[in-house]
Chain A
Amino acid sequence: GESVGLHLPTLSVQEGDNSIINCAYSNSASDYFIWYKQESGKGPQFIIDIRSNMDKRQGQRVTVLLNKTVKHLSLQIAATQPGDSAVYFCAENMFDKVIFGPGTSLSVIP
Chain B
Amino acid sequence: EVQLVESGGGLVQPGGSLRLSCAASGFTFSSYWMHWVRQAPGKGLVWVSRINSDGSSTSYADSVKGRFTISRDNAKNTLYLQMNSLRAEDTAVYYCARQYYAFLADYWGQGTLVTVSS
Co-assembled chains A and B: no
Q: Could you list which residues of chain A lie within 8 angstroms of chain B, going by C-beta atoms?
A: none
